[in-house]
Amino acid sequence: MLKAPPPLLLASSSRYRAELLARLRLAFDTAAPGVDETPQPGENAGALVVRLARAKAAALRHTHPKAWIIGSDQVALIGDEIIGKPGDRERAIRQLCAASGREVRFLTAVSLSTPTAETHAIETTTVHFRDLSRDQIERYLDAEPAYDCAGSFKCEGYGITLFEAVDSRDPTALIGLPLIALCRLLREAGYPLP
C-alpha cells in the first residue's frame, strides 16, 4: 500500500500563487501567514525576498506541525529601488512610467519547510519594457487595473503587451511562485512527484 504524501500548505492569501500551485495537481490548503513585509535597515532585495519567503513558511509551523509548508515572496527592482504593489491607479502610472524603456528585475523566492528541515531557492526574472507613453499606460490600466501586482502589470494577461522581452529560467516566477524551483525542492525533500 502506498503511503499518503505529507499534507501541503501554501503560506499565502494570494490567489495568483494558489492558481500556480494548482497547476501541479497536488492537494494543498492555504493559510495567510500574517508576516510583516517591511524591509530591515540596510537589507538588500535578495536578502529581503528570501527572509520573507522563509518567514511566511515558519509563521505557520506551530499551527500546522505536520505540514510541508510553502512560502514565497517577490520584490521588483527598477535600478536599485524596490517597488511593490502600487495599490492605486496613480502609483501604478508612476511605476509604469518609471519602467518605460527600462529593465525591471523581479526576485522571487520560495521556501519549503518540512517538520525537520527548511530549504529555499531564488529566481531572477528580467522584464524589458517597451517605451511607453502615458496614454498607452493609462489605456493598459483601464483594461487591466493591476494594482495588486508588483510592477503594476499582469504578465499572464494583457500586461504582456508592455514588454519587449522577458528573460527567465522559470516563467512562473514572474507571476509569484517559481514552480520549477519548487518541484526541485519537493523532490529533493522526498515528496512524490513525477
pTM: 0.90
Classify residue 75 by its DSSP letter.
E
Average pLDDT, the chain: 94
Q: How confident is the model at residue 12 (pLDDT cuts 50, 70, 90)?
A: very high
Classify 170 as helix, strand or coil: coil
Nearest to 68 by CA among 113, 26, 28: 113
Q: How confident is the model at residue 84 (pLDDT cuts 50, 70, 90)?
A: confident
Catalytic (active site) residue 73? yes
List of domains in the chain: 8-189 (3.90.950.10)
Classify residue 122 by its DSSP letter.
E
pLDDT score recorded for residue 111: 98
Q: What percent of the chain has pLDDT over 70?
A: 99
Q: How confident is the model at residue 24 (pLDDT cuts 50, 70, 90)?
A: very high
Q: Which of 29, 36, 73, 80 is catalytic?
A: 73
pLDDT tens digit sequence for 89-129: 999 999 999 999 999 999 999 999 999 999 999 999 999 99
Q: How far apart are CA 85 and CA 99, in angstroms?
A: 14
pLDDT score recorded for residue 62: 93
CB 14 within 8 A of CB 176: yes
CA angle 74, 76, 81 (to 5 degrees): 135
pLDDT score recorded for residue 157: 87
pLDDT score recorded for residue 3: 74
